[in-house]
Structure 1
Amino acid sequence: MISKPSDLKGKNIGRVIQLLLAKPGTPRVELARQTELTKTTISSIVASLIDLGIAEELPGEKMGLVGKAPIPVRIPSDAATVVGVNLARGSTTGVVMSASGKLLASCVKSVSNKTRADATANLFDVVQRLINESYRNETRVDAIGIGAPSPLDKKSGVVYSPFGLSDWRNFAIGEITEKKFGLPVFLVNDSDGAAFGMKCFGKCRDISSFISLYFDEGIGAGIILKDEIYSGSFGYSGEISYALLKSFCDEPIDNSGLSLDTIVSALNSELGENLGSIDEFLRKGSALGRRTASVIGRVGDELGRIAALVSNIFGPEAVVVNGKLLDFGEIFFEALKSSFESNLFSGDRVRLLEGNNDQFEAFSTGAASYAIFSYLMSKALTD
C-alpha cells in the first residue's frame, strides 16, 4: 500500500513531536539521526513547529573549538495544558498535565461508573474540578484526554461495548464531552494511553517497541510497536483477561471475566482465610508468612507465563509490569521474572521492567499524554 504525501507528512511530524516530548532539547542533527529523516526535512518541520509556537530553540553549548554549537529544540511547557481522565468501572481519576509532562493538579472520585448516566456525571464533575483548579492557577486548558475500556473508536470518540458495562454500548463520550466543555477531546483505550505516556514521559522513552502489562482491576496490556500505539483492526488489542491461569481456574471463566479479584477468591479458598478483595489481600497477605509467600509466588509464576505468551506473539524489546501486585515486592516479581524468562522464545533478549503500582494514576496520566500529542498534532496539521 502506497501512503499519500499528506499521510507521510503527518507521520513525519508526529515522529518529531513525539521525540521532542520524550527528549526535550534535542538538536536538529540528532532529530534527523533518530527519525532517519533528512536534515532538510527536519529543518522544514522544526521551522513550521516554531512558527506555530509548538517548538522553540534554546541557546546551544559549543562542544569543541571548531564549528557552530548545536541548537537544542524543545516543546515549551505551555505549548499545551490538558486534562487527562481515566473513566474506570469503579472510579474516575484525573490530572492536569503540561506539555513537559509536569502534573499540575489531580482529582479522584471513587464511585461506580456502571451506567452511562453515572459515567457521564462523574466524568463531567472531575473535568470541571480540574478546569476550575487550572483557572485558579491562571492556566488555560487546551484539550481533554479520556482513557476508557475498549472496544472504542478513537476517531469518532465512541466507546462500543466494553465487557461488563452493557449500558455503555455505543457511548459517544467524545462528542458529549466536547459539547459540554467546548474543548477538543481525544479518546484512547486506557492501557494504550498509559503505555503511550511511558513512551513520551516515562521509562520507555528510548524503547521503540514494548508491551505494558497491567495486573490490577483487570488484566490487560498496552502495546507500542515501532513508536506507535497498536490498536488492532477494531479499536482494541492486548485484552488478555481471558488468558487462563491454569493453577487457579480449573473451570472455564464465566461472563464476569478474569481479574485479580478472581485470583484472590481462589487464593482465599486455598488458604482457608477470607482476605476479601485484592486491596485487602495485599494489605493483609504480606503478614501471613511462608504459606502466603508460596501462593504469591504461584501467582507471579502464572502471570509471568502470560507475559511471555504476549511477548512471543508481538516480539517487543521490553515488557513492563504494572499494578497492585508489585506491592508484594521481590517474592512476586522474582517468580514472575523466572517464569517469564523460561517461557520466552527469544531467550534473554526481552527486558522485563517494573512499572507503576498505581494503575489508575498511570491511566489518567496516559490519557493526558495522548491528548497532549494529539492536540499538538492537530495544531501542526491545520493549514
Structure 2
Amino acid sequence: MITKPGDLREKNMGRVIQLLLANPDISRVEIARKTELTKTTISAILAALLDLNIVEETPGLKTGLVGKTPIPMRVRGDAAVAIGVNLARGSTSGVVMTASGELLESVSKEVSNLTRADATAHLFEVVQRLLNKCFRNGIDVDAIGIGVPSPLDKEKGVIYAPYGLSDWKDFPVGEITREKFGLPVFLVNDADGAAFGMKCFGKCRDIRSFISMYFDEGVGAGIILNDEIYGGSSGYSGQISYALIKSFCNGQVENSRFSLDTVVSDLNKEIGVSCGKIDDFLDRRFNGGQKMNSVLSRVGDELGRIAALVSNIVGPEAVVVNGRLLDFGKVFFSALKDSFESNLFSRGSVQLIKGFTNQFRAFSTGAASYAIFSYLMDKVLSN
C-alpha cells in the first residue's frame, strides 16, 4: 500500500503533537529519537506549531548536560481548552481541561440516560454548566469531546446501537451538540478516550502499547497500540463484555452480562442482605466477612483471567485495571493479579497497573484529551 504525502504528513504531525502533550519540556533531539523522524521533518513540524502558537520554547530550563544546552519544547497551556463529557447509561459527567492537562472545572450528575431525549438534555445541561463556569472565569473553550459507548462513527458523530440503549440507535450526538453550542465536537468511544488520556497525560505516557480495562456497567477496554488508539475495522475492538465469565454464566450469555450489578446481586445472595449499590458494600461500617471476601476473590479471579486472555491476543506492554472494585483493596486486586499472572502466556512480561477507581471521571478527562489532540490536529492541517 502506497502512503499519500498528505497521509504521511498527518501521521507525523500526530506523532509529534501527541509526544509533546505527553512529554512537556522535551528537546528536538529527543523528539527525533522517540519518533524516529529526521531532524528536517521535526524542524518543519515544530516551525508550523510555533507559528500557530501551539508550542513554545522553554529556554529557562537546565538539562545538566555539558556544552550547548538544548532548548526544550512544550505545548502551550492556552493552545486549546476543551470540555470533555462522558455520556453513560446512569450518569453524565464533564470536565474542562487545558492542553497542558490541567483540570479547571468539573460537573457530575447521576441520572438516567436510557432515552435519547434524556441523554441529550443531560449532555446539554452539563456542557452549559461548564461553559458558564468558564465564562465567569474568563476561559475560552475551543472544543467539546464526548465519550460514548460503541459502536459509533467518529467522523460522522453518530452512535449506532449500543448495548442496552435501544433508543440511542443512530443518535447524531456530534451534530446536535455542534449545532447547539457552535463549537467543534469530537466523538470517541469512552474507553478508547480514557486510554488515550492516560497516554497523553497519565500513567502510560512512556508505554507505547497497553490495554486499559474498565469494569462498571460492563467490562470494556481501550487499546493503545504503537501510541495510537486501536479500534479495529468496525471501531469496537475493546468491547469484551461478552467474554465468558465462568463463575457467573449459568444461563444464556445475553442474560449474564458481567457488571457491578452482577457483583451486587451475588454479594446480596451470598451474605443474605439487600444492598442496592456497590457503595453500600464499600461503606466502612459494612463487614461481610469471609463470605464477602469469597465473592470478591471470585470476581478478581474472573477479571484477571479476562485481562490475561485479552493480553495474550493483543500482546501489550501493560494492562491497566480501572473501576470501583479497586476500592476493596488487597482481597480483590490480589486475586486479580494472581489470576492474571497464572493465565498469562508470557509470564512476567506484562505490567499490571492500578488505574482510576472512578472510571467515569477517566472517561470525561479522556474525552477532553481526545478533543484537545483532535482540535490541534485540525488547526495545523487546515493551515
Q: TM-score, normalised by structure 2?
A: 0.97
**Percent identity at matched positions?**
69
Q: Which residue in 1 is equivalent to 2:83?
A: 83
**Unaligned segments of structure 2, at least 5 residues:** none
- Displacement of 1:280: 2.2
Deviations 1:26-75 (A, max 9, x none): 01000000000011110110011000111111115364453x21010010
Q: Which residue in 2 is equivalent to 1:121?
A: 121
How many Å separate the matches in 1 of 2:293 and 2:50? Answer: 55
Q: Which residue in 2 is equivalent to 1:130?
A: 130
Are 2:152 and 1:170 aligned? no
Please list, as runs of the form range in 1=range in 2, the aligned pairs for 1:198-347 lying within 5 A after superposition. 198-255=198-255, 257-283=257-283, 287-347=287-347
Most deviating of 110-119 and 53-62: 53-62
Q: Tell me, what secondary structure is at the counterpart of 2:341?
A: helix
How many Å separate the matches in 2 of 1:62 and 1:101? Answer: 23
Q: Which residue in 1 is equivalent to 2:38?
A: 38
Please list, as runs of the form range in 1=range in 2, the aligned pairs for 1:63-82 lying within 5 A after superposition. 63-66=64-67, 68-82=68-82
Q: Tell me, what secondary structure is at the counterpart of 1:78?
A: coil
Amino acid of the structure 2 residue aligned with 1:356: F
**Unaligned segments of structure 1, at least 5 residues:** none
Please list, as runs of the form range in 1=range in 2, the aligned pairs for 1:146-185 lying within 5 A after superposition. 146-185=146-185
The root-mean-square deviation of aligned C-alpha atoms, in Å, is 1.4
- Displacement of 1:292: 1.4
1:86 and 1:360 in contact (8 A); partners too: yes
Structure 1 residues 284, 166: CA separation in 2 closer, same or farther (over 3 Å shift)?
A: farther
1:25 and 1:58 in contact (8 A); partners too: yes
Amino acid of the structure 1 residue aligned with 2:88: A
- Displacement of 1:295: 2.0
Amino acid of the structure 1 residue aligned with 2:99: A
Structure 1 residues 186, 287: CA separation in 2 closer, same or farther (over 3 Å shift)?
A: same
Q: Tell me, what secondary structure is at the counterpart of 2:362?
A: helix
Q: TM-score, normalised by structure 1?
A: 0.97
Amino acid of the structure 1 residue aligned with 2:263: I
How many Å separate the matches in 2 of 1:115 and 1:256? Answer: 23
1:164 and 1:256 in contact (8 A); partners too: no
Most deviating of 228-237 and 277-286: 277-286
How many Å separate the matches in 1 of 2:66 and 2:220? Answer: 53
Q: Tell me, what secondary structure is at the counterpart of 1:178?
A: helix
- Displacement of 1:282: 3.0
Count of aligned positions: 382
Structure 1 residues 256, 250: CA separation in 2 closer, same or farther (over 3 Å shift)?
A: closer
